[in-house]
Structure 1
Amino acid sequence: MLSSLKRLLIGRPLKSNELGEQKLGILKALAILSSDALSSVAYGTEQILIVLATISVVAFWYSIPIAVGVLFLLAALILSYRQIIYSYPHGGGAYVVSKENIGEKAGLIAGGSLLVDYILTVAVSVTAGTDAITSAFPGLHAHSVFIACILVIFITILNLRGITESASILAYPVYLFVLALFILIGVGLFKIVTGDITPTAQHASIGAPVQGITLFLLLRAFASGCSALTGVEAISNAIPTFKDPAPKNAAKTLVLMGSLLALLFSGITFLAYYYGIAPKADETVVSQIAKETFGRNYLYFFVQGTTALILVLAANTGYSAFPLLAFALAKDKYMPRMFTIRGDRLGYSNGIVSLGVASIILIIASKGQTEHLIPLYAVGVFIPFTLSQTGMIIKWLRQKPAGWVAKLTSNLIGALITLTVLIIFFVTKLGQVWFVFLFLPLIVIMFLRIKSHYEAVGEQLRIQPEDEAIPVQGNVIIVPVAGITKVVENSINYAKSLTDQIFAVYVSFDREDEKRFEEKWQKWQPDVRLVTLQSHYRSILQPLSKFIDTVEHKASENNYRVTVLIPQFITKKNWHNILHNQSSLLIRAYLIFKKKVIVATLPYHFKK
């Protein structure tokens, strides 16, 4: 039943040689890897206005120069990550760049930041999408957390079906969103040019004096606006998902994404300023612009619908990049090896499922409040931004290839800007991002402990030429028995085929029962030694464990190995298991941790 449900939700398993069919072209890659960056248009401008609103609506004109600064940073990042794509064509992005050029700890900080950031990508995208839905249908506002969790489950299942299939589905809403916003911006600009705007729309002229404005507040607004740049790095992490030539296609996709992001962010910011839009708790800025431009007609709902879709599906950037980054870290032994295993549909299923579970926990913990997550979300991006730029600077200084001065200059400008933004975040939003200083060291320590474990395991498993093998002279088999049955007979006969050193062990709770069982056993299996153990406290495990320890101690002196052979019957139907006590499973679970004892189970299958 579970297998059938899995096939229904995820689809048929794919052969390993079908992996090439799971690669992405430019148009599909733009949809699946740029949805996070493009969707940030829906809340980037709003984050700037939320900060400026603490002064007055007159301060909203500052959103224009702040937007120009954000666009300048975007250009620097696009140029920098384009160089990273060509320099590191196997993916890994900031993690690989930082690890190879700065050092192990820097790479782990970048990798840990990005992993957390991708979890936040899913949480922020889905909660922002839920906000867009509840803006259009206010009656659903009370159920926003539940809606967000259902959406995460849907996207997780979609990604488990494979990257190509999810990209085919995602391409439509992403491009519909781009079309909807271009229509919104085009119609809005046309109305401004023709003077056809509502009389209530008011804005302060650029350069108007604003009482109470401070550099600190402007820097805080700029840092908030930089949340529109989240997701820019995803393409450099996911180069292996592109069709050949992968680096060239990835670079083209990056430039296309940057161009679309610049146009949409500029247009929305300008319309919000010109219309005099102020942020509201129950309605997004994009919703207000669309209502001001079209009224609440079908075009308004088209904009809101596509905005909600891309905000939800922008989470797919996290689902595309998180498993690949987790794979890179796991391959270097910093994360569990389960993240290197491909699932039925050739995706890294463990990474996909882990991301979905972590995102749901985060949404519930934050009560679906996007603004509580965005500052931490942006910090998680700008730490790897800064480290990757610094790593590239070190790379050019070491290698000095042709044209390295221009490349160095580009990365130096990018590093200075991203470092400045990061400092601004920490200074202006310390109360919201302070625990970055707590969880990043913990993540790095966790990575190092995992690698230390794998190295210790490798050292213990590695066969050394100088190691002398201890010869095994024979085997002693201990068979726990609960009665005289076909299950026990099956186990005893199997043990006899291996050795004549057999102990059948029966744990008795009273003397009369012990005596009766010994008499029956003597008649049934007189050639197999029976050991009966008294248990005054009705425990099977304690007396059995003590007996096994005694036998193992004597056996090891003669280089004998001790095997505990556990008889176990297997019911025909799974639900029958609840009708029987599972003592064999308990014994196995208890004994498996004994260092010098082999634990084996011999199943006996029922036919009805």
Structure 2
Amino acid sequence: MISAVKRFLIGRPLKSSALGEQKLNKTKALAILSSDALSSVAYGPEQVLLVLMTVSTIAFWYSIPIAVGVLILLFALILSYRQIIFAYPQGGGAYIVSKENLGENAGLIAGGSLLVDYILTVAVSVSAGTDAITSAIPSLHEHNVVIASVLVVLITILNLRGLTESASILAYPVYLFVLALFVLIGVGFFHIITGNASPELHAPLGTPVTGISLFLILRAFASGSSALTGVEAISNAIPNFNHPAPKNAAKTLAIMGSLLAVMLVGIVFLAYYYGIVPKGEETVVSQIAAVTFGRNFIYYFIQGTTALILVLAANTGYSAFPLLAFNLSKDKYIPSMFKMRGDRLGYSNGIITLGITSILLIIIFEGQTEQLIPLYAVGVFIPFTLSQTGMLVKWFREKPKNWVGKLLINFVGAIISFTVMMIFFITKFGQVWAVLIFIPVLIFIFHKIKNHYESVGEQLSVSNNSPIKPIEGNVIIVPVAGITHVVENSLNYAKSLNPKQILAVYVAFDREDEKRLAEKWSKWQPDVRLVTLYSQYRSINYPLSKFISKVENKAYESSYTVTVLIPQFIPKKGWHNILHNQSSLLIKTILLYRKDVIVTTVPYHFKK
């Protein structure tokens, strides 16, 4: 039943030899890896206006020079990450760059930040997409959290089906969104040029604004820079591209940057010219579309594609998170399960982990996008800064051909990224202070995990000059619950091992039961010694453990090994297990942590 449901949801397993078929061409890669960056134009400009609105709507004209500043930052990041793509074609992005050039901890800061950022990518994108849906259908507004959580589950299932399949589905809404935004911007500018949009709706550029300050402008700039989240995703996922992967990735990055620049400037300018004021129940893009077209078919087409891409922008996280988790797992900083490919050749453990943690975030923050964006953005600019700084060190150390020009590009990227990061910390400290706690905690956990793996490797190695003590004899203890075929099967197996001694142990709760079993046992298995233990508190584990310890001490003196052989019956149908107590499982779980005791289970399968 479970297997049939799994096959229906994610499809049949793929052979390992089909891995090459899971690569992306530029068209699909743009859809699956750029959706986060492109979709951010739906909420980035709104974040700028929300900050400026705290002074006055007259201050909205500042959104134009702020947008120019964001474009400069975008241009610097595109050039910088283009260099990273060719310098590190194996992928890994900021984590690999920082680790190789700035050291282990810098790499872990970048890697940890990006892991959290991709979780936030999913939570923010889906929350924003849900906002777009409820803007068009206000009656659904109170169900934001449920809608967002269901959408995350659907995207998780889609990604479990495989990279190329999810990319094929995602390509349509992404390109429809780009088309819708270009139509909206084109028609909006046409209305402005032909005089159909009133110039009185906005304050002219340069209008004096009382109460404006550099601090507030920088805060608005930092908020607008949230539109650049997702720019690094392509450099993290180079192995997903068709050959030649670096060239295809670089071209995709350039296309993404161009589209993002046009859409960002267009939305910011239209919002300014139309005098759009952010509303809690309706997004800025929704208001621009309503002013431009009215609430007709085109309006709902724009809202529908916006909602789709905002939701599906989460797929950037699903593409990059598993690859980053794979790299961290390969370096032994997170559990090895993240290195395993699933039935559809994707890193399914990473995909599932991302889905679960994203839903938890949506529930904790109640689907409020504004509360998540500052954490989301600062989580991006930390690795931005580290990766650019790492490239500076690389060029200065290696001095390849034209290295001065390359160094200058990464220097500009590092300075701007660092500046934006500091602006976030200074202007939005109340919202991003948690970063200063969870990143050190995350790095501490990374180191503890690696220490564990190194310790395990050392103890498993046969070359560490610590040979395992040979087994010279075996004493077998068989816990029994009575005289049954299950016990008989286990005793027969124990006898076949030719041990030094077999001890059957029965824990009695009643003296009469203890006496009756002893009498029957002497006739049934006269060659196997029965040890009965009376438990006045009706506990099996404590008296059994105490007895095993006594036997263990005596066996150690004779260089014998103690084996606890646990009889366990297996019902024919799985649901029958709930009808029986699982005392054998509990005994096994407790004994597995006994250093000098071997635990073996002997199953007895029922036929009906």
Give the TM-score range, shorter chain. over 0.9
What corresponds to 1:478 in structure 2?
477
The whole-number CA distance in structure 1 between the counterparts of 2:469 and 2:597 is 16
The whole-number CA distance in structure 2 between the counterparts of 1:62 and 1:103 is 40
Residue 360, structure 1, aligned to residue 359, structure 2: yes
SS at match of 2:345: coil
What corresponds to 1:117 in structure 2?
117
Unaligned runs of 5+ in 2: none
Give 1:574 shift.
1.6
What corresponds to 2:86 in structure 1?
86
* TM-score with structure 2 setting the length: 0.99
Say which is worse superposed, 298-307 or 435-444, in terms of deviation: 435-444
Contact preservation (8 Å) 1:39, 1:310: yes
What corresponds to 1:519 in structure 2?
519
What corresponds to 2:70 in structure 1?
70
Give 1:200 shift.
8.9
SS at match of 1:251: helix
Give the partner amino acid of 1:320.
Answer: S
What corresponds to 1:177 in structure 2?
177
The whole-number CA distance in structure 2 between the counterparts of 1:466 and 1:102 is 36
Unaligned runs of 5+ in 1: none
- Per-residue CA distance 1:96-154 (angstroms, 9 max, x = gap): 00000011110000000000000000000000000000000000000011100000000
Change (3 A) 1:201 1:450: farther
Residue 341, structure 1, aligned to residue 340, structure 2: yes
What corresponds to 1:45 in structure 2?
45
- Per-residue CA distance 1:276-323 (angstroms, 9 max, x = gap): 111111100000000000000000000000000000000000000000
What corresponds to 1:420 in structure 2?
419
SS at match of 1:209: coil
Give 1:92 shift.
0.5
Give the partner amino acid of 1:138.
Answer: P
Give the partner amino acid of 1:36.
Answer: D
Contact preservation (8 Å) 1:279, 1:285: yes
Q: Following superposition, which runs of at least 4 residues in structure 1 exceed 4 angstroms of deviation?
A: none
What corresponds to 1:319 in structure 2?
318
SS at match of 1:89: coil
Structure 2 counterparts to residues 140-179 of structure 1, below 5 A: 140-179=140-179
- Per-residue CA distance 1:347-405 (angstroms, 9 max, x = gap): 10110011111000100110110000101100000000000000000000000000000
The whole-number CA distance in structure 2 between the counterparts of 1:102 and 1:434 is 24
What corresponds to 1:429 in structure 2?
428
- Per-residue CA distance 1:187-244 (angstroms, 9 max, x = gap): 11111111112x5960111111111111111000000000000000000000111111
The whole-number CA distance in structure 2 between the counterparts of 1:201 and 1:304 is 26
SS at match of 1:602: strand
Structure 2 counterparts to residues 375-414 of structure 1, below 5 A: 375-414=374-413
Contact preservation (8 Å) 1:26, 1:253: yes
Give 1:465 shift.
6.1
- Per-residue CA distance 1:147-184 (angstroms, 9 max, x = gap): 00000000001001111110000000000000000000
What corresponds to 2:579 in structure 1?
579
SS at match of 1:91: coil
SS at match of 2:201: coil
- Per-residue CA distance 1:543-600 (angstroms, 9 max, x = gap): 1111111111111222211111111111111221222111111111111111111111
Residue 267, structure 1, aligned to residue 266, structure 2: yes
The whole-number CA distance in structure 1 between the counterparts of 2:404 and 2:194 is 48
Structure 2 counterparts to residues 443-592 of structure 1, below 5 A: 443-464=442-463, 466-500=465-499, 501-592=501-592
Give 1:346 shift.
0.5
The whole-number CA distance in structure 2 between the counterparts of 1:190 and 1:234 is 34
Contact preservation (8 Å) 1:479, 1:492: yes
SS at match of 2:513: helix
Contact preservation (8 Å) 2:98, 2:110: yes
Aligned length: 607
Q: Percent identity?
A: 74
SS at match of 1:40: helix
The whole-number CA distance in structure 2 between the counterparts of 1:578 and 1:327 is 37
Contact preservation (8 Å) 2:126, 2:311: yes
- Per-residue CA distance 1:495-553 (angstroms, 9 max, x = gap): 11002421111111222211111111111110111111111111111111111111111
Contact preservation (8 Å) 2:199, 2:273: no
The whole-number CA distance in structure 2 between the counterparts of 1:97 and 1:3 is 41
Contact preservation (8 Å) 1:476, 1:499: no
- Per-residue CA distance 1:63-85 (angstroms, 9 max, x = gap): 11000000000000000000000
What corresponds to 2:330 in structure 1?
331
The whole-number CA distance in structure 1 between the counterparts of 2:200 and 2:516 is 97
The whole-number CA distance in structure 1 between the counterparts of 2:507 and 2:365 is 53
Give the partner amino acid of 2:503.
Answer: F
- Per-residue CA distance 1:249-273 (angstroms, 9 max, x = gap): 1111100100000011011111111
What corresponds to 2:196 in structure 1?
196
Contact preservation (8 Å) 2:458, 2:464: no
* TM-score with structure 1 setting the length: 0.99
The whole-number CA distance in structure 2 between the counterparts of 1:475 and 1:153 is 52
What corresponds to 1:294 in structure 2?
293
Give the partner amino acid of 1:72.
Answer: I
SS at match of 1:470: coil
